[in-house]
Amino acid sequence: MSLIYLDNNATTKVAPEVLDAMMPYFKEEYANPSSIYDFAKKSNHAVRDARVAIKDFVNASSEKEIIFTSCGSESANTAIRGVLNMNKNKRHIITSKVEHPCVLNLYQTLEKEGYKVDYIGVNSNGELDLAQLEQAISYDTALVSIMYANNETGVIFPIEKISEMIKSKNKETKFFVDGVQVAGKIPIDVQAAGIDLLGISGHKFHAPKGIGALYVNSKTLVTPLIIGGHQERGKRAGTENVPYIVGMAKAAELAIDSLKYELTEVKRLRDKLESGILKTVYNSRLNTAIANRVPNTTNIGFEYIEGELILLHLSDLGICASSGSACTSGSLEPSHVLRAMNVPFTAIHGSIRFSLSRYTTEREIDYVLDVLPGIIEKISSISPYQEELANLKRLRNL
C-alpha cells in the first residue's frame, strides 16, 4: 500500500533538496554564528543569506525586517504580544472568528487580561464580513489580525483591501497577517499588500517542523517574546537554529520556483478531485465558493455521515486527509470555521479537507476518485438517516 498524502495544510514532507541543504550544518558547520573565529563564518553567512531569501520570499524591503522563530505559533505570539506591549494605551483588537486556534486562544487570554476583542464573522462561502470589520476599527484599535487564507477552507481574505481600510480609519493601528497557509501557495508581497507583520511556518512549505519566521516592517515596533541574548536584533533571543534556518530558506527558494506550478498544475488536480467527488457522490457538497481559494485546498461536506469514519476508511487505503468533525480532534465541538460559516448540521460533521502539494500526482487523485465513492456509499448505508439520504439522492439526480 503506497501513501497518498492529501493533508498538506497540516504539514508537508521535507523536500529532498531542503534536507541536503541542511545536512552540512548538522555535520561539519556546527559553529555558533555569533562566534568570532573563522570557523563560524560559514554558519554566520548561512543565516545571513537565509534572511535575504526569506525577505525575497515575502518581498520585504530589507532583511532586517525578518525574525526567525521556532514555528507559526511563536511568530503569531511575538507579533500580537509585541505590538500590544508597544501600544499600551490602546486596548482594542479586531480579528476573525475563523483564525487558527494558536491566534484565537491567545485572544481569549488577552480578553481575560482586559483587552476588548471583536471577532469578525464570515458568510456561508467563508468570506469575511468587511463592512463589520470596517465599522469595528476605532481610535482605540491597537491591532487588526486576520489570516491570509483559512487553513480549513483555503479561502483567501482580501488583505490589501483590509489594509487600506485600516490605514484610512486609524493610521496607528497595526495589521498582523497570519500567512502560514499561503506561504508557498500564492505569491506574497507584504509591501504591496500593506502588511505590518506577517507570520509563516516552514513545515507548511516543505521545510521541517520547528522553524518559522516573522516579518515586522521597519515602522512597527515589537517587544521580544523570548528575552535573553542579542540574536535577531534583540527581537528573539536564543542561538540561531542554523540548519533549520538554512532549510527554510531553501524551501522558500523552491517555493518561489514552483509558484506557477502551484497555481496551474496543483490547482488543476485539486479541481479535478473536487469536481469528480461532487459529480459522483450525491451526498457531497462544496463547503465554500469556488473562487478566491489557495490552489491546493478543498473542503467537502458529506451529508448524514461522520468525518472520522471517512478518514479511518481512507486511512485503511493509505489516503491521508483531515476533518472538521468533532470526533477527530478529541474536542467535542465541530470545526469553529465551518460553524462560523453556518455549514448545515447535516454536513458539518462529515466535512473533509483535502490539501494537495506539488508532490501530488494525477495517479493519486485518480485513485482517490476511484475508491472514495465506495467508502461514502458504505458509510452512508449504516447511517440511521436512510430516508433523508434517499430524498437527497432524488433531489440531486433531478
Partner 1 sequence: MWDYSEKVMDHYRNPRNVGKIDNADAIGEAGSLACGDSLKIYLKIQNGIVTDAKFQTFGCGSAVASSSILTEMIIGKTVEEVKKITNQDIADQLGGLPPEKMHCSVMGYEALEDALQNFDNMIDLDDLREEKVVEKIVCTCFGVTENMIWDAIKHNGLKTVEEITNYTKAGGACGKCKGLIQDIIDTYYKKEEAENNLPQLSPAQRILKINNVIETQISPELRKDGGDITLVDIDGDKVLVKLRGKCSGCKNSHLTLKSFVEMTLRETVDKNILVIEVS
Among 124, 135, 239, 386, binds partner 1 (CB under 8 A): 386
CB of 154 to partner 1, least distance (A): 23
Asked if residue 333 binds partner 1 (CB under 8 A), the reply is yes
Q: Under the criterion CB under 8 A, does residue 381 sit at the interface with partner 1? A: yes
What is the C-alpha separation between 252 and 249, in angstroms, rounded?
A: 5
Measured from the CB atom, the residue of 96 and 351 that comes closer to partner 1 is 351
User: What are the phi and psi torsion angles at 359 (to 5°)?
Assistant: -90, -5
Rounded distance, CA 7 to CA 17, Å? Answer: 21
Does residue 67 interact with partner 1 by CB under 8 A?
no
Considering only 61, 135, 331, 361, the residue that binds partner 1 (CB under 8 A) is: 331
Q: How far is the CB of 55 from partner 1 (least distance, A)?
A: 37
Q: Are 218 and 61 in contact (CB under 8 A)?
A: yes
Q: Which stretch binds partner 1 (CB under 8 A): 45-53, 81-89, 130-138, 378-386?
A: 378-386
CA distances to 160, 167, 177 from 163, in Å? 5, 6, 10
Reference 295, options 269, 257, 332; nearest CA is 269
By C-alpha distance, which of 206, 253, 208 is closest to 357? Answer: 206
Q: Which stretch binds partner 1 (CB under 8 A): 4-12, 138-146, 278-286, 329-337?
A: 329-337
Considering the rule CB under 8 A, would residue 349 count as an interface residue with partner 1? yes
Of 16 and 330, nearer to partner 1 (C-beta) is 330
The binder of partner 1 chosen from 345, 359, 362, 370 (CB under 8 A): 345
Nearer to partner 1, 154 or 307 (CB): 307
The answer to whether residue 199 forms part of the interface with partner 1 (CB under 8 A) is: no
Q: Give alpha helix (H) positions in 262-361.
A: 267-280, 307-316, 326-329, 336-340, 345-348
71 is catalytic: no
Alpha-carbon distance values, 331 to 327, 348, 357 (Å):
7, 14, 28
Neighbours of 255 (CB within 10 A): 23
Site residue total, partner 1 (CB under 8 A): 27
Binding mask 288-327 for partner 1 (x = CB under 8 A): ----------------xxxxxx--xx--x--------xxx
The dihedrals phi and psi of 302, each to the nearest 5 degrees, come to -105, 120
Under rule CB under 8 A, residue 384 binds partner 1? yes
User: Closest separation between CB of residue 122 and partner 1, Å?
Assistant: 20
C-alpha span between 57 and 245 (Å, rounded):
14
CA distance 112 to 97: 17
Closer to partner 1 by Cβ: residue 108 or 264 = 108
What b-and-e string marks burial along 63-82, b requiring 16 or more CB atoms within 10 Å of the CB?
Answer: eebbbbbbbbbbbbbbbbbb
Q: Is 1 in the site for partner 1 (CB under 8 A)?
A: no
- 3-class state of residue 270 by DSSP: helix
Residue nearer to partner 1 on the CB measure, 191 or 315: 315
Annotated catalytic residues are 327
Site residues, partner 1 (CB under 8 A): 304-309, 312-313, 316, 325-328, 330-334, 345-346, 349, 381-386
